[in-house]
A and B are shown apart, each in its own frame.
Chain A
């Protein structure tokens, strides 16, 4: 004689899928009367009309008191889509990505706040040599209008250093390198901002405009990458 045990009525599935409600936040309340051990949370994010984002998971008890928050260490770039996962037994990104020497910003130059587009990232990769620490930042973005952009590299607050921009390359994805910059010195004080000099600049910032890139195709739909290597002496 065999018997089958079935879950009592009211027991939910092991995977709960909720649609978004068109806002920046979504919540799920663990059902009452159940013991549930959360293993993972996955959020799909549409940032096509936004800047880069690092979603945060917050956990609150029934009373509403937040007992933990966890922000993604990497960003979903603005202008794109992506997913953010929080899961048990995942390790956070190892240093130096978790504690970057440099952060970067790429901005459209514009008069109003609405014209500013920022992309912030940590280190894309690192390389280490005798007496020299080299870091490389790679940023990819899609131009959504014809405005020029500028690039700023600044170091983390707790890392006093002087740096030399070894090279900065602007590259159209799928095409040859458009511009490069070699061996220009830059000094960055702790917590300060240093800017990349460029052949075409405005207000001390780097300007990568359509003329500089000499793009034969409409700028508004091209995707470019900037690769910046900084040597720290």
Chain B
């Protein structure tokens, strides 16, 4: 019988290379898979270009 449990996720502004760890607390209870969903994955380098992109006007416009 499968049991699904859920709870809230701490809403934290995480830096890159932060570590997410799930531990069952029992050596006999094994984690068979881990799925992490993220909302954005924009590199800082791309963000740095955004001002330039937003102010760019094509010559064809």
CA–CA, A32 to B16, complex, Å? 5
Which residues of chain B (1-58) have a CB below 8 Å from chain A? Answer: 1-12, 14-47, 58
Residues on B with beta carbons closer than 8 Å to the beta carbon of A62: 15-19
Q: Mark A33-67, 1 if CB is under 8 A from B, else 0.
A: 11111111111111101110111111111101001
Report the interface size for chain A: residues with CB under 8 A from the other chain. Answer: 82
CA–CA, A49 to B20, complex, Å? 25
Task: Answer yes or no: A30 CB below 8 A from chain B CBs.
Answer: yes
CA–CA, A51 to B29, complex, Å? 8
Residues on B with beta carbons closer than 8 Å to the beta carbon of A142: 1
Task: Answer yes or no: A211 CB below 8 A from chain B CBs.
Answer: no
Contact A24 B43 (CB under 8 A): no
- Contact size class for B? 35 or more
Would A50 and B32 be within 8 Å (CB), given that A33-B44, A39-B38 are in contact? no
Of B25, B38, B40, the contact of A54 (CB 8 Å cutoff): B25
Residues on B with beta carbons closer than 8 Å to the beta carbon of A35: 16, 40-44, 47
Contact B5 A24 (CB under 8 A): no
A-B contact count (CB 8 A): 282
Task: Answer yes or no: A16 CB below 8 A from chain B CBs.
Answer: yes
CA–CA, A30 to B39, complex, Å? 13
CA–CA, A14 to B40, complex, Å? 7
Q: Pick the interface stretch among A75-83, A126-134, A160-168, A180-188.
A: A75-83
Contact B12 A67 (CB under 8 A): yes
CA–CA, A74 to B6, complex, Å? 8
Task: Answer yes or no: A113 CB below 8 A from chain B CBs.
Answer: no
Contact B9 A72 (CB under 8 A): no
Residues on B with beta carbons closer than 8 Å to the beta carbon of A92: 7-8
Query: Which of A8, A20, A30, A50 has most chain B Cβ within 10 Å?
Result: A30
Residue of B nearest to A79 (CB): B1
Contact A34 B41 (CB under 8 A): yes
Contact A44 B31 (CB under 8 A): yes
Q: Which 3 A-B pairs have the closest CB atoms?
A: A50-B28, A50-B29, A82-B3
- Residues on A lying within 8 angstroms of B by beta carbon are 1, 7-8, 10-20, 22-47, 49-51, 53-62, 64, 67-68, 70-78, 80-93, 140, 142, 223
A to B CB contacts below 8 Å, 7 in the list: A11-B41, A20-B34, A29-B17, A45-B29, A62-B18, A75-B5, A223-B1
Q: Beyond A41-B20, A43-B35, A76-B3: 9 further Cβ-contacts under 8 Å?
A: A23-B27, A36-B14, A47-B28, A49-B29, A53-B26, A58-B21, A81-B2, A88-B8, A90-B6
